[in-house]
Structure 1
């Protein structure tokens, strides 16, 4: 089973709050996150950089949206390898790389953690609204990273906004 790396913007769009994602995009993100939680594996880093970013944007309690429920799923299953795969990625001393597993790159530094985890876990990246994943297609091809653009109307070159 191929694991997924879920960019934070997917969960934010699924919540439908504080996002520029249209209704179609929000619904697509809701459906994909529900599917991932029900039957897929999510890859995160062992240094908790991804969890820390989720924590800044998502809430696992109260009146959660689907993105928040996804975050709660990750918290509840982070040590169950059949649900959440925690992989080792080492931050690089070279700011042009971000992580040892990555070559020099112009990727948004806040997104490099997702990229590094995708490389190590051989995971598919889920993206909704971040154009970085489209703008750096040659780097992604060279690294063998596949990106599933859930909302291409928001994430294509020149039209997407940079969300974390």
Structure 2
């Protein structure tokens, strides 16, 4: 059974609202989240930073979207290691690291929690629309973190938007 760290953008895209992801990307996210919930393990941090971000962007009632249902699954099964594994990571006072488990890095601060959990748990990161994961490919290789890009065409568009802003 594979463990996954799910970037919030995957669940947001699966919901199909408040996202710039196209229908192809939304469908890829829906299918992957349904598969993860049915047969895989989700890894989150034991400090609650990932769950808090999910709760800020998704609906805990589990409706109306697949991303909301994913949040409900994570919330209901947190701590049941065969479904949702809480992983110990240590926030760092060093802003250049973010977490003690990470070296100095220029990675997006808001995504460092996902990266730290992936490093500690050995989980695969799921990403839909965030270009930072691809832009920091060298860091991912150094840390041995695998990133599954569900929407590579969206990531290319996100990188172009970032460069033009």
TM-score, with length taken from structure 1: 0.95
SS in 2 for 1:126: strand
Contact 1:124 1:145 in 2 (8 A): yes
Structure 1 residue aligned with 2:142? 142
Q: How far did 1:2 drift?
A: 2.2
Deviations 1:6-43 (A, max 9, x none): 00000000000000000000000000000000000000
Contact 2:6 2:127 in 1 (8 A): yes
Residues 120-135 of structure 1 mapped to structure 2, 5 A cutoff: 120-135=120-135
Q: How far did 1:63 drift?
A: 3.6
Residues 82-101 of structure 1 mapped to structure 2, 5 A cutoff: 82-101=82-101
CA RMSD of aligned residues (A): 1.2
Residues 5-44 of structure 1 mapped to structure 2, 5 A cutoff: 5-44=5-44
User: Which consecutive unaligned segments of at least 5 residues does structure 1 have?
Assistant: none
Residues 112-123 of structure 1 mapped to structure 2, 5 A cutoff: 112-123=112-123
* Distance (whole Å) between structure 2 residues aligned to residue 140 and residue 160 of structure 1: 22
Which portions of structure 1, spanning 4 or more consecutive aligned residues, are displaced by more than 4 angstroms?
A: none
User: Which consecutive unaligned segments of at least 5 residues does structure 2 have?
Assistant: none
Contact 1:124 1:146 in 2 (8 A): yes
Q: How far did 1:61 drift?
A: 1.4
Q: Which has the higher helix share?
A: 2
* Distance (whole Å) between structure 2 residues aligned to residue 94 and residue 104 of structure 1: 8
Structure 1 residue aligned with 2:160? 159
Deviations 1:38-57 (A, max 9, x none): 00000000000000000100
Contact 2:62 2:72 in 1 (8 A): no
Distance verdict in 2 for CA 1:70–1:62, change over 3 Å:
closer
